[in-house]
Structure 1
Amino acid sequence: MGDVIAAQNRFGLDLYRRLAASTPDETVFISPLSIHVALTMAYNGAAGITAEEMGQVLQLGDLSRDGLNTAVRELLERYGAEDLGARLNVANALWYSQELTFYQEYIERMEEFYLATVSPLSFKSPGSETIVNDWVSRQTEGLIPVLFDSLDPETVMLIVNAVYFKGEWSEPFDPAITQPRPFHLPTGDVKQVPMMYKSGQVDYYQAEEFQAIRLPYGDEKRLAMYIFLPAEDRSLNEFAASLTYEDWQTWTAGFRSRLGQVWLPRVEISYKTRLAATLQALGMAAAFDPGRADFGEIHEPAPGQNVYISDVTHQAVLKVDEEGTEAAAATSVDFAVTSLPAYEFEFVADRPFFVAIRDEETGAVLFLGSVFDPAA
């Protein structure tokens, strides 16, 4: 399972860097786990150059498909059965055109190893998007009610991912002392945001180019949020462009408990993106090309018909607060400068920051992204 988690993390950071570079100064929030799992569903039916390119982009290395599938199932079952101290819903689905005959073996493999909903769908029929939207809405408990306004009638395969996460801190922030404080946007504008505050022992890491904190979720502390705040003379765009898997491994191993003060805004993010162009730019070109795609292990040969991936749509929702947002908002905390010398560090997330949520036991990065506006 470790090889698959490493592949997911490497792929996730590659994808994040590409998305962040294509939309500088804009929030990006993705689930490497969810996207990687859905794409490996398609990879299972690929052959030739299509499979080769997908394997390279997905960082699969020498992993066999049997080994990959078994590890993915183990990971998904692990998250579905265990108490993570947080609420985590991951929805994966694949729809295919009713005009083709798909191999039953492939469908059964997707259901068995990927716990996936695999369904035929007539993309030419009016209202086909309703079927997809209803499925996503059910999986996310209504948090993502509409993923598609419409579907391209020429679509022959569609992969959809929808992710929702909400965690309760192991040591909650006190909502009574949350108060409006300025947050500096990349445009130079300043907006007032609800800023949470806590002091005490916090896992902390500092380098020349950033400072970072780790905040665990739940009693088990199995999942944790990592927040990296670039130095004031360095932008979040620069941080994103230079972030590597090797850096990530080194940094996450370097956190130590320190006595400090933390100011962190409430965060509510909904991020939606279509990934076809980005995945092609990373090297997964043939899979999206109707003339070159080879998914011969998915469907029976049919003259003049060929399966290709039309698009990959991903939406992720993240909400973090201090647990009890509405309580005693009028009470404030004293931020007097005279109290600071007792602390080893001060972490003030009043400007764009990088965030990630990681499984501390397996090392899997479940979510990561850039937050340029915490209320975007």
Structure 2
Amino acid sequence: MVAVARHGDSHEGAARRRRAVSERPLVSTLVLNWNGAHLLPDCLATLAKQDCPAHEIVVVDNGSVDNSAAVAARYPARWLPMGENLGFTRAYNRAVHDAKGELLFFVNNDMRFEPDCVSRLARVLTADDTLFAADPTQRSWDGARVIHGRTRFVPGSYHDIVVPPWAVEYTAAAAGPVEVPWGCAGSLLVRRDRFEALDGFDPTFFIDFEDTDLCWRAWRRGWRTVYVPDAVLYHKVGMSGDEYQHLIRGVARGQVPKTWFRRRVSYHTNLLRFGLKVLPARDAARLAAALAARAAWHVTRRNLKVALAIVLAFVANARRLPDTLAARRRVAGGARHDHRALLERFTTS
């Protein structure tokens, strides 16, 4: 059994934590793609060389109009067309219905993988029945630096707060597998049964905080996420999905600020929805106050587009508040663990 470091852990209950999935579970790697023909060769070639004994590769295509299908056909991968661009969360939720595996590995198309990446993640995830997800190390494309490692809370201010009063550090080191509050959905291995029990990704999170929301809901159910430092991949950060493609077209037309503005609206909208959906009322109010203070600060600095992005995030959340409150009741109804306990586990103090 692989040992996962966690606060207050002991040998008591070890038998209960042993794997509930099969001895050699099938892993379905779901590669999200949108016009990524130039990215797929590195991704699919290294996935095809994984030493995982039971592994299928599925290219989840969001309506590409390039030659992605022809490129994918060169590799042992199944082509799963969505027919249109459903974004990140909706495409993955739909693809899960066609996946065959007990374990699901969500990955971006702008990654390449060490040959033992999938097997190391699966080994840790299946060794402990209290786990929901396993998160690998992401290194820069040249391997020179870690761009995603151990996630933990650090002291924050209204400029960078995520869960009051904490900001988040994403690149902390770890000597071995260690529990974290959430993993990165761009490369996350999860147990299928628990992903489905959680109703998958929240489809309103097009991009940003969909992984935070998912893993937080899992933890409230008693299902933990673990960071596995020796499972390694390399990431061309920012190269996947239509966000990058829109940016390139924006540069050509001199419209980078517009593209950036949409992303800032999305970021703050999803952060606020996450808070309203899963945080205790007091902390949700503190998060809203911090975002309001952030907007006011940008007004004083004449950064009016940033301030407007935050204001529009409040407007968007006001419009869908009934849906958010209904989701909040569902999260609370299945909760086994208290929010405060999660914060206490992962702070740096």
TM class, shorter-chain normalised?
Answer: under 0.3
TM-score by length of 2: 0.23
User: Which one has the bigger strand percentage?
Assistant: 1
TM-score by length of 1: 0.22
User: Which one has the bigger helix percentage?
Assistant: 2
Q: Whose RCO is larger (CA < 8 A, sep 6+)?
A: 1
